[in-house]
A and B are shown apart, each in its own frame.
Chain A
Amino acid sequence: MSSKATQQPFYLRVIVYAFVGFWLVLAAFPFLWTFWGSFKVELDFFSIADWTNALTGERTQQVHGSSFTGDGYEGAWVKEEFWRAVLNTFIVCFFVVTISLTFGTLGGYALSRSGHSYTFWLLIAALIARAMPQITLVSGYLLPFFEWNLWGYLPTSIIVLVAINQPFTLWMLHSFFQKIPKDLDESAKVDGCTQFQAFRFAIIPVMWPGVITTGLFSFLLAYNDFAVTTMLLNKENQTMVPKIASFLGTTQTEGNVMFAVAAVVSATAPLFILVMFFQRQIVSGLTAGAVKG
């Protein structure tokens, strides 16, 4: 749209730029500020005397002789064993993504290819399941898991997260599969393939863009989960988010708040990288459900 008629008058252009600029600051500044502050001592990051201390690191200089310090990171990663939580998080995420994509592609494919009316009701049931707050489900798990000694282990949390993930995964993959022409697997079936062979040889090779996008969202759900991992994992098996939450409860003494700040920055970094590389997939995934519905 670059014709003369659609060009904005100058004042409108200024307003638009100012507004978008304002939003950018709102969206990005908290992260930059916390990242910068994570290399300071607590008295600088939470400065009573002068807020510019958080920028210049005056107290940090007095204590460490330089205006940057990795103390928060050392405390979090080494002293509080944050690396263990990081490891657990990646184990959980890896298995949640793999298993939910396997289940989801099979189910989503079936839903998109079956013309029977129950597919509609299954999708509606999935939508209702999507609306259930996770914490209500967690309160249903606790008693049986205690009884059967399943509480506290990573596999338990993984399978629970997979299940909670399924409604969303199904909806998303269902709409992706509907975009793949039906002729593709129909003609494979005419050539003598069974339904599964048609899926295996005709659909799997072309489904990857949709699967990668869905996988990103499964990853985010597992990575960002708070309710399930906090309630279902014991202390040794904690992932990053419950670990950070536990920093808050126990460590309010000086210096330890900076452990939490460093841990928060460490946990945000992978998400930054993710957005950087997969921005296009995330945007297309968010709109996939919307365009259909």
Chain B
Amino acid sequence: MKHKTFFWFFLPTGLAMLLFIVLPIVSVILQSVFVEHEAVLAVVENCGPFGCKQETTIDQSATEALRTARPLGQFAGLEIYFNRGHLATAEVSEAWRSRDGLGDFLSTINNLPFYRAMSFTLVYTFTVTPLLIVLGFAIAVGVNSLHRHLKGLVIFFSLLPMIVTPLIGSLILFWMIDSRGILGSALQWMADDPTLSLKASTGLTWVMLIVYGVWHSAPFAFVVFYAGLQTLPKDTLESAMIDGASRWQQIRYVVIPHLMPLLTFVALIQLMDNFRVLEPIVGFSAEAHATSLSWIIFNDLAGETRLLSSAAATSVLTIIGVSILLSPVLVRTWRDFHSKAE
């Protein structure tokens, strides 16, 4: 295909991505180095029956004028990145100096909003992803050995947790684990503790969110692995059987190597998706115990006064996080590409 033809075919999609994915990233970076204008203060002398008083008031019209003239705000450099709401360099070094053992240092750090969100995001991403892969694989192997009339039905119900809107899925589970809901009361009965509430404890809230994450994404892994099992080379399996491989050995040495490329794919997609976890935290109202990077941005943007610069700085940090997460894949792809080209 000629360059020119390619250009015209690719123009609409390229333009859409440029305008609404690349430019917003530029906009986020710009916004993160500016702070909102401070209100313009005016000193007014107020004279009443009891003498004159000097009062400082906000000059609304002047503030407004300044804001329309320079909507980005004042240039602040990297100041926002290092303040308490983000990297909190001053607080971290202070905590390091006055530390009382490593545990104490970590717990101080964990009280800073950015690090708190970071720790949950990482724990969530790196526990949910392997767990859902294992569960998805187990379901795929199980379903594959079912009678074929049953398969369709099982696949139908298995798809539901993944297809349903994340916010809705988490709400449905949230209502069930409410202390008055069915799972909540079942847990109270099992633990023999009528005051047990999953929402009140940080540890249990994390477990709850992780369980939700696995529930929501396991079907994806299941479907991909199930499709992979359909293309399993039968003769390899048969020769393994003739050589006396046990069922477990067949899975370990024939099935898993065959599914390996799919596993990389599932892991990549799920790492990306789990890193941006947001809806479950909103749905479970879990923000008191667990916040994620996406949730901090969401919270900054959703408030009465939208904290655009603060949200932008967190966004940039999140994007850096995503790139670190993606870098092994990108490096590998780049190498593959070059070895192919040679």
Q: Is B50 an interface residue (CB 8 A)?
A: no
Given contacts A137-B24, A163-B16, contact A241 B165 (CB under 8 A): yes
Cβ-closest chain B residue relative to A15: B142
Q: Which of A96-145 contact B (CB under 8 A)?
A: 102-104, 106-107, 109-111, 113-117, 120, 122, 124-144
Contact B1 A195 (CB under 8 A): yes
Q: Is A24 an interface residue (CB 8 A)?
A: yes
Contact B1 A110 (CB under 8 A): yes
Q: Is B41 an interface residue (CB 8 A)?
A: no
Q: Is B91 an interface residue (CB 8 A)?
A: no
Given contacts A131-B322, A159-B16, A287-B224, contact A8 B145 (CB under 8 A): yes
Cβ-closest chain A residue relative to B223: A286
Contact B28 A226 (CB under 8 A): no
Selected from A271, A289, A290, the residue in CB contact (under 8 A) with B163 is A271
Contact B143 A20 (CB under 8 A): yes
Q: Is B252 an interface residue (CB 8 A)?
A: no
A7 to chain B, nearest CB (A): 10
Q: Which of A238-276 contact B (CB under 8 A)?
A: 241, 244-245, 248, 260-261, 264, 267-268, 271-272, 274-276
Given contacts A103-B12, A282-B163, contact A142 B308 (CB under 8 A): yes
Binds B, one of A28-36, A56-64, A70-78: A28-36
Interface string of A20-51 (1 = CB under 8 A from B): 10011011101101100100000001111001
Interface string of A141-163 (1 = CB under 8 A from B): 11110010000000000011011
Q: Is A92 an interface residue (CB 8 A)?
A: no
Interface of A (DSSP majority class):
helix
Instruction: Give the residues in chain A near B266, CB-CB below 8 Å.
Output: 290
Instruction: Give the residues in chain A near B14, CB-CB below 8 Å.
Output: 107, 122
Given contacts A31-B172, A140-B25, contact A170 B20 (CB under 8 A): no
Q: Which of B164-204 contact A (CB under 8 A)?
A: 164-168, 171-173, 175-176, 178, 180-182, 185-186
In the bound assembly, the distance between CA atoms of A166 and B2 in angstroms comes to 23
Interface of B (DSSP majority class):
helix
Contact B180 A48 (CB under 8 A): yes
Instruction: Give the residues in chain B near A20, CB-CB below 8 Å.
Output: 139, 142-143, 146, 154
Q: Is B131 an interface residue (CB 8 A)?
A: no
A201 to chain B, nearest CB (A): 16
Q: Is A202 an interface residue (CB 8 A)?
A: no
Instruction: Give the residues in chain B near A6, CB-CB below 8 Å.
Output: 241
Q: Is A231 an interface residue (CB 8 A)?
A: yes
Contact A19 B13 (CB under 8 A): no
Instruction: Give the residues in chain B near A45, CB-CB below 8 Å.
Output: 175, 181
Cβ-closest chain B residue relative to A173: B13
A129 to chain B, nearest CB (A): 5
Residues of B in contact with A, size category: 35 or more
Q: Is B21 an interface residue (CB 8 A)?
A: yes
B262 to chain A, nearest CB (A): 5
Contact A34 B31 (CB under 8 A): no
Q: Is B27 an interface residue (CB 8 A)?
A: yes
Residue of A111, A139, A159, A220 with most chain B CB atoms under a 10 A cut-off: A139
B285 to chain A, nearest CB (A): 7
Contact B166 A226 (CB under 8 A): yes
A230 to chain B, nearest CB (A): 8
Contact B159 A107 (CB under 8 A): no
Contact B28 A290 (CB under 8 A): no
Cβ-closest chain A residue relative to B277: A133
Selected from A126, A133, A142, the residue in CB contact (under 8 A) with B318 is A133
Q: Is B282 an interface residue (CB 8 A)?
A: yes
Given contacts A159-B16, A289-B265, contact A16 B163 (CB under 8 A): no
Instruction: Give the residues in chain B near A34, CB-CB below 8 Å.
Output: 172, 175-176
Please provide the 3 A-B residue pairs with the shortest distance between their CB atoms, ordered closest to farther: A140-B24, A163-B20, A133-B276
The 14 sampled A-B contact pairs (Cβ below 8 Å) are A19-B138, A20-B143, A28-B160, A124-B330, A131-B326, A134-B276, A136-B318, A138-B24, A141-B24, A142-B301, A170-B13, A195-B5, A227-B298, A291-B227
